[in-house]
Chain A
Amino acid sequence: MPNTKSQTPVLHARAARPALAAPACRKASAEQVQDGADTSVANRKSQISTCDGQSLKRALHAAGRWLERHAAVVNAINVFPVPDGDTGTNMLLTMNAALAEIERSPDDSVSDVAQAAAHGALMGARGNSGVILSQILRGFAHSLDGETILSPRAFALAAQEAHETAFRGVINRVPGTILDVAREAARAAQEAATRTEDIVEVLTEVVETAKATNILTQEQNPVLKEAGVVDAGGQGLVYILEGVLRYLQGESVEIDTEMEAVVDLKSTLGVGEEGYGYDVQFLIKGEALNVDEIRKTIDTMGESTLVVGDATTVKVHVHVHDPGVPLSYGVSQGVISDVVVENMEEQYQEFVMSRARETVATEEVTNIATVCVVPGDGLRRVFESLGASAIVRGGQTMNPSTQEILNAIESVDAEDVLVLPNNSNVVLAARQARDLSSKHVIVVPTKTIPQGISALLAFNYQADAETNADRMARAASEIQTVEVTRAVRSTQINGIEVTEGDVIGLFNDQLVAAGQDYTTVVLDVLSQVAVEDYEIATIYFGQDATQEEAEALADQITQTYPDLEIEVHEGGQAHYRYILSLE
């Protein structure tokens, strides 16, 4: 392509070429390029108004280091399109591949540096954001072909082509992404280039616009809005542009003066520069504690250090990879207490996933609702986790009314409704509710909680209501239910003498055992079942039992049936101390 842009008149540096600074200390990982001796700008205070190949090279290095400083933040806000928390890492690896190629390239005109960066990024692009970054650099380089000086006008044209190339590089474009940031940055560059011949002024405008545009992404993309974050790729591009500007302005990218907001975000997320580790907090109590000395020592162990206190009590907070290190040190200084150790990776993952939970992917949707009658908060959570659309509270001795079930049927946003009564005494009320409703309602006559869980598990998002009702009824029939409670009156059933207050065991709603103690009765019921035919027993303990008691029961069952896998869940139901399922 013929190139005439290099004839554009440009002003030359209004300050002397930047003095070469000493190489800065920086972590070098396997992926990172070797720092050239001239890439640090830590000590440079001068400012330049145009940019030759050497300066472009250093500016891109500065951009890489600035992105590196903020990669963890970019990772943390990565919820779109895939909430896997690696946008910062991917952009950084892509940028590092570009920088490594620049180092390998023998020539350093603006054109050569840009070409090398583009080639390196193209070969080393990682992830969606990395691919887009590679396309930005490709367009940028293509436009700068033959240029020796990066004038404001050349930059503006290159920014425009960078955006256009990146735009073409994405198949499924949605509003509120790095593409918007690239587009607006290019527009700002063009506007600024008509007003000034100073590349620093142009970049200043570009960075301001890029930041403002990326803030808007949160409003444009519903996934970002839901998660309360800006676009991660867009933010990565902001850091890259900002790094370039910082270099041109003679500001450091090594010593961070604008980290306040970032530090705040990072401590919220528990994401450190070194990746994830442990957040350790404790108090040291003693006599004549040396706060300064402790602070100094703790500071060498990790980051985000906070050490405050006096001669008798010192509060320590630090992020480390091995919590044993600061804790052992604390013990050497005095008596430690109030120890809190948190795994920051777990917190971080939970944070990202909780933000991403509502993300609706491109998957099948159903318009069939399920209404489930459930006693107890624990069981409610189980049913909700399995996708129950509405829960009606109720069960043994607290049967819900027809009206309550009908209200739930009417409340769900679907015309097809499947009702799971989960108790033999609720089936009738559910059928009455069905007859009263104008919706298409099918009652799947589940008689116990385990049957209901089994039925709900069998719900198929692709099938219609009738098919689902059949599947669910069949699934309910495949599960065995054991319930234990206390007899409310003396009686004789199935040849078993029951005295009021006895523990009684029911197998699929039939009384089969009675005794004085819960564990004995449960084992008695199981002895009447071919337990070896089943793989998993699940114990849902009621509101009168504790987790420990349920686990002790599980241990007892394991001793008798070592092949049976046992899960314990809080059911929170009244009346039944334990509900067990066998499947």
Chain B
Amino acid sequence: MPPVKIVVDSTADLPPDVTADLDITVIPCLIRFGDQTFREGVDMSRAEFFARLQTDPHFPGTAAPAPGVFEETYRRLAAETDAVVSIHLSPQYSGIFNAARLGAEAVADSLRVVLVDAGQISLGMGLITMVVAEAARDGASLQEILDLLDDLKPRTHLFATLNTLDNLRRGGRVSGLVARVGNLLHIKPILHVHQGQILLHDRVRSWERAQWHLVETVRTMAPFERVMLIHTQRPEAAQALGQALADLLPPHTYTFEVGTTIGIHVGIGAAGVAFIQAR
């Protein structure tokens, strides 16, 4: 039986060497500055993007890949496999899942595509995708992969402190949450993503104290099976988190940068941790 193929959209924020290594197919989301559209990770590097985010007068828009792009990708994979597990951002936050669904329906006669709501964003989703792709590489069956996902999702969390609320506010996707953060004081919100919910975990006024709160919370959730330190253009903050959590980090803890689509919504200078708790 041919191996199950893993598909994910670019909001999983996995770097290209990881996705190439684990044979993960990434479908790029779209970034739009004014009239110009870019495919995330294909037409524009992260460095270029973040430089432009700070200088371009247009606040960029983000869009899901078109259903036809999913359809095309699935058709291509149909030549290599009978089953695809396609992991995406929750439909309540984005049209990606729906576009994938339409693409999957179009190929239903030739390929089994199982769509999975990751219940996570960014590298929270990336982490789950990596673990699942390792299992697929090692020959796990479709059912084994789906069981693994059911097992992983409740154990996967993401905590991140945002440096600014502006991007989240302008992105418009979690307006209720934004309203709760408060707009008069320069508050650093700590977000907690778990099981499809983006929660306001804490509101703190200073970055150092926010990171201290974050570390304190994360430490109570140890031990960890996998951890990723994450940031948007702030590697030193991810490094500091790594030091504060050093005694709890499992082997193969990576530091990765959040990509452009999610980066637009969380803004520059965010940092946090994505992890899977040990069973």
Contact = CB atoms under 8 A, between A and B. Distances in A.
A binds B: yes
Interface of A: 29-31, 82-86, 89-90, 93, 97, 119, 122-128, 130-131, 134-135, 169-172, 275, 345, 349, 352-353, 356-357, 359-364, 381-382, 385-387, 453, 457-462, 535-536, 538, 565, 567, 569, 583
B64 interface: yes
A483 to B, nearest CB: 18
Contact of B204 (A85, A128, A131, A457): A457
B69 A123 contact: yes
Residue of A31, A86, A127 with most partner-chain B CB within 10 A: A127
A90 B176 contact: no
Contact of A84 (B171, B179, B205): B171
Interface stretch (B20-28, B75-83, B152-160, B181-189): B181-189
B61 interface: yes
B182 A387 contact: yes
B102 A461 contact: no
A94 to B, nearest CB: 8
Interface in B171-195: 171-177, 179-180, 182-187
B202 interface: yes
A360 B179 CA distance: 10
A387 B180 CA distance: 6
8 cross-chain pairs, A with B, having the tightest CB-CB distances, nearest first: A122-B68, A123-B68, A535-B206, A125-B66, A29-B35, A361-B176, A84-B172, A386-B182
B176 A359 contact: yes
Nearest to B265: A84
Contact of B199 (A359, A360, A387, A461): A461
Contacts of B202: 458, 460
24 contacts: A30-B37, A31-B37, A83-B175, A84-B172, A86-B63, A90-B61, A122-B66, A122-B71, A123-B66, A125-B99, A130-B63, A131-B64, A131-B67, A131-B98, A131-B99, A131-B102, A135-B102, A169-B98, A349-B170, A361-B177, A385-B182, A457-B185, A457-B187, A461-B180
Contacts of A127: 63-64, 95
B175 A357 contact: yes
B173 A82 contact: yes
B169 interface: yes
Interface of B: 30, 32, 34-37, 57-59, 61, 63-64, 66-69, 71-72, 91-92, 95, 97-99, 101-102, 169-177, 179-180, 182-187, 197-209
Given A84-B61, A93-B37, A128 B176 contact: no
Residue of A83, A126, A387 with most partner-chain B CB within 10 A: A126
Contacts of A170: 98
A536 B206 contact: yes
A363 B175 CA distance: 9
A481 to B, nearest CB: 14
B76 to A, nearest CB: 14
B102 A361 contact: no
Nearest to B91: A171
A353 to B, nearest CB: 7
Contacts of B67: 122, 125, 131, 134-135
B197 A364 contact: yes
B207 A535 contact: yes
B68 A360 contact: no
Contacts of A169: 98, 102
B197 A363 contact: yes
Given A134-B67, A171-B91, A362-B92, A569 B185 contact: yes
A569 B68 contact: no
Given A172-B92, A583-B205, 17 more contacts: A31-B36, A82-B171, A85-B172, A86-B32, A122-B66, A124-B66, A126-B32, A127-B95, A171-B98, A353-B169, A361-B176, A363-B199, A381-B184, A382-B184, A535-B209, A536-B205, A536-B206
Contact of B203 (A128, A356, A457, A462): A457
Nearest to A356: B175
A125 B95 CA distance: 11
Contacts of A128: 95, 98
Contact of B205 (A82, A135, A357, A457): A457
A169 B106 CA distance: 11
Residue of B59, B67, B186 with most partner-chain A CB within 10 A: B67
Contact of A385 (B36, B37, B59, B183): B183
Contact of B66 (A134, A352, A364, A385): A134
Given A134-B67, A135-B102, A453 B171 contact: no
Nearest to B173: A82
B202 to A, nearest CB: 7
Nearest to A120: B68
A272 B163 CA distance: 32
Residue of B35, B170, B207 with most partner-chain A CB within 10 A: B35
Contacts of B102: 131, 135, 169
Contacts of B176: 359-361, 363
Contacts of A119: 68
B199 A382 contact: no
B184 A583 contact: no
A460 B98 contact: no
A435 B66 CA distance: 60
B179 A357 contact: yes
Contacts of B209: 535, 583
A67 to B, nearest CB: 15
B184 A126 contact: no
A174 B205 CA distance: 38
Contact of A83 (B69, B98, B172, B179): B172
A411 B170 CA distance: 33
Nearest to A86: B61
Contacts of B186: 567
A224 to B, nearest CB: 15
Contacts of A583: 205-206, 209
